[in-house]
Structure 1
Amino acid sequence: MLAARHAGLVWSSSRTVSRTSRSSSAILLLTTHARFLSTPVPTPKPSSPPEAHLTPAQRKQKLDLRPAPIKPPRSSTISATHIPTKPTVPLPQPTAMPSAPSLKAVKEVAKRDIEDAEAHGILAPPPPNSNWFKRTLHKGIELAKFYYRGVKLIFLRRKEINLIRARIKAGGSPLTRWENRLIRTQKSDINKVVPFLFIALLLEEVIPLIAIYAPFMLPSTCILPSQRDRIEEKRTEKAIAYAAEYRHIYAKLKLQESPAGHLPIDALKASGTSIAVCGVLRLSTVGFDALRIRRIRNHLEFLAVDDQLLVQDKLLQRLSLKGLEEALLERGL
């Protein structure tokens, strides 16, 4: 009896436990499914790159696996041993002839030249309160007088030069630097005086134009002060331009020195060399190579004599500023 009751109790307990377990499982399953259907699955937040929180000092520098060649630093000064062998500036190409200046421009230049000469006392100013015709006539007469005195001075200097040569031939005092330069100037003026007289008699109004574009045609005694300054300024500008443009030719000539400071005359026969040397020495570059080489030879012979006379007359320490500047420009410095 007790055994039967105990067996019934055990069976009843087992059913209760089984129902309880099944019920708990069902509740857990329903709860899980309900949570799965109602609660969204949280998506992971993208983590920020670790480099964003690092300071610039903590970041690693990127390595360039194919680095470009490093350019050497540019030197601020050119080495003394560097000699260019190619032109630093393209060689000049033939250009069209410059257009003729306008009549108004020529008149303005001539007017300034005359006013400057009047300020220096070379030309007499027109009388006050004179009309346009009288002023123009007065200026023409004064210019004619100036040219006449200049031509007359050329012929008067011939007597002085003949006396200098006679003294030297007789064994008198040696030739001075001033006398040597006077003889050279006189020789140049004699060659120019006849063409100048022809132009002055027939086309006097063209002389200001000649002073601007063909100053080598004017004798030294027939040039107004402002015209002389303009001529010297243009010569200096030309020499500076040639010194920069033909630098490679001067470098090649430097390499051909034998011995140092001496060049064979044949070195001037190379293409463009005679033009480069004439330009830097402020000589005319017109003509062909043989004519330019002749000018260079005559100029260097003159400079050799001038150097000797500078030492002979002890003028190296007594040259005026203008004389020193003239000597340097003649030597291409």
Structure 2
Amino acid sequence: MLRFTGKNVAVNRTVVQPRRLHLVLSGQCLSSGRLQLAYHHARVGRTVLARFASTSTSSSDAKSSHTPNLPPSSVSPRKHRVELKPGPLKGPSQSSTTPRPHSTSPKQTHPSFPAFRPSPKPSTPDPVPSAIELAKQDIADATAQGVLRPAPPDAGSIRRFTHQAIELFKFYFRGLKAINTHRKQAAAIRARVAAGGPAASRAESRFIRTFQQDALKLIPFVIIVLVMEELIPFIALYVPRMLPSTCVLPGQRDRINAKARKNQLLALAENRQLFELLRKESESSGFIAAQSLGRPGALCGIIGIPAWPPQLAQWRLQRHLQNISSDDTMLKQEGYGRDLTLPELKEALQERGMPTFSERNSADELRAQLKWWIDMSEIMPEGADAVSRRLFVLGIIGSHE
């Protein structure tokens, strides 16, 4: 044991001197006792030599003739870290797949067609209530809105029925009196204009036209009220055009407007090929002559006027479009319907054959559609008039999907 220890000490004396010099130069000065103790636990002197040689630095100050040349390091240089976590796949950019339009596009001569938003079609049709149920609902709505006075809470069925009959008779009587009042007001407006006063506004013009329509319905309506007033709710359901505007309950008015719009949408869907053919044939000229219409009843269905009897369809179509022409002029003067409410905008679009709006449309969207109609109608090609140009615009509307 002592002999073996002596050999280790001899080895330490011959080998440790360069290592000791290196530790001194590097600022790590170890005591000889600690160094001998470290080498005392080594098994073989050569192993100690290899371990110290492999951990020695390549400093130029530590090199000596007694230090063997170290082999090149077998550790490869550190590679960049590769991120193995997959990232989201990016689709091809729009610019790489879609060709860019030319910077110099041709100038459009017609206003762009507005983006209509049709009403969503229900998956299953709603059940249609009976006429008696609709009449009861109309009376209940009118009572809730204050149009009719409610029955006493302790009234029986007979007294309640009698009360409702009396209230309906009062309502229709007040409506007939309102027609006479409107007659006086319309006469005052005409007298003012005839005397050189300010021209009639759009609201006054529509008021006079509504009074004229009510006056034509007055005689048959009075006969119905005097004979059997209980038939009026059924007339409002099946023949709503027989009722004057002053004798229509709020629920009946909403149902009449909804039914008229439904008929217009149905006419658009059934006659789309006809409208597309009319538009293609008249695109070169920019107008459709009223005399060349083979089926004027289809266009009557779009704008919501009766097409029966067929002999009067073309005359009604021309008269309606002439009224629309005058209305377009007034709307343009008043800022393209700037002051119109949402129901008034819907009514104006329905009169022009544009019932493709929905309940989600805002007033600004409806004004944009109305402005498109007025701007398109103002373009007058050679040989066109107000009616023929609007027939062409109706052809565009009817062929648009």
Q: SS of 1:297's equivalent? A: helix
Task: Give per-residue Cα distances to partners, 1:180-229, cap 9 Å, x unaligned.
Answer: 10111011000001101101111211111111110010100001011011
| Preserved CA contact (<8 Å) 1:192 1:217 | yes
Residue 295 in structure 1 maps to residue 316 in structure 2: yes
* Separation in 2, partners of 1:111, 1:316: 37
* Separation in 1, partners of 2:188, 2:286: 37
* Separation in 2, partners of 1:150, 1:260: 48
Match of 2:133 among 96, 105, 108: 108
Match of 1:153 in 2: 178
| Preserved CA contact (<8 Å) 2:131 2:237 | no
Counterpart amino acid of residue 222 in structure 2: L
The correspondence of residues 208-247 of structure 1 with structure 2, limited to 5 A, is 208-247=233-272
User: Relative to structure 1, is the Cα distance of residues 305 and 284 closer, same or farther in structure 2, using a 3 angstrom cutoff?
Assistant: same
* Separation in 2, partners of 1:220, 1:170: 29
* Separation in 2, partners of 1:158, 1:176: 17
For structure 1, the residue ranges without an aligned partner over 5 or more in a row are 1-103
Deviant stretches of 4+, over 3 Å? 258-261
Match of 2:209 in 1: 184
Counterpart amino acid of residue 128 in structure 1: P
Match of 1:141 in 2: 166
Match of 2:339 in 1: 318
Match of 1:275 in 2: 297
| Preserved CA contact (<8 Å) 1:154 1:190 | yes
User: Relative to structure 1, is the Cα distance of residues 140 and 229 closer, same or farther in structure 2, using a 3 angstrom cutoff?
Assistant: same
Q: How many residue pairs are counted as aligned between the two chains?
A: 227
Match of 1:202 among 195, 215, 227: 227
* Separation in 2, partners of 1:217, 1:261: 38
For structure 2, the residue ranges without an aligned partner over 5 or more in a row are 1-128, 355-401
Identity percentage of aligned residues: 42
Match of 2:275 in 1: 250
| Preserved CA contact (<8 Å) 2:302 2:353 | yes
Q: SS of 2:282's equivalent? A: coil
* Separation in 2, partners of 1:225, 1:316: 24
| Preserved CA contact (<8 Å) 1:310 1:316 | yes
Q: SS of 1:125's equivalent? A: coil
* Separation in 1, partners of 2:334, 2:136: 42
Q: Report deviation, 1:262.
A: 2.3
Q: Report deviation, 1:280.
A: 0.6
Moved more, 313-322 or 108-117: 313-322
The correspondence of residues 56-75 of structure 1 with structure 2, limited to 5 A, is none
* Separation in 2, partners of 1:229, 1:236: 11
| Preserved CA contact (<8 Å) 2:186 2:208 | yes
Q: Report deviation, 1:132.
A: 1.0
Match of 1:64 in 2: none
TM-score normalized with structure 2 length: 0.55
CA RMSD of aligned residues (A): 1.7
The correspondence of residues 76-95 of structure 1 with structure 2, limited to 5 A, is none
Q: SS of 1:266's equivalent? A: helix
Task: Give per-residue Cα distances to partners, 1:4-40, cap 9 Å, x unaligned.
Answer: xxxxxxxxxxxxxxxxxxxxxxxxxxxxxxxxxxxxx
Counterpart amino acid of residue 322 in structure 2: E
Q: Report deviation, 1:159.
A: 0.9
Q: Report deviation, 1:259.
A: 6.6
Larger Rg: 1
Match of 2:348 in 1: 327
TM-score normalized with structure 1 length: 0.65
Counterpart amino acid of residue 142 in structure 1: E
* Separation in 2, partners of 1:163, 1:144: 29
Task: Give per-residue Cα distances to partners, 1:269-290, cap 9 Å, x unaligned.
Answer: x1xx2121011101112212x3
| Preserved CA contact (<8 Å) 1:154 1:221 | yes
* Separation in 2, partners of 1:299, 1:320: 22
Task: Give per-residue Cα distances to partners, 1:74-101, cap 9 Å, x unaligned.
Answer: xxxxxxxxxxxxxxxxxxxxxxxxxxxx
Counterpart amino acid of residue 146 in structure 1: F
| Preserved CA contact (<8 Å) 1:176 1:313 | no
Task: Give per-residue Cα distances to partners, 1:90-118, cap 9 Å, x unaligned.
Answer: xxxxxxxxxxxxxx933211111100000
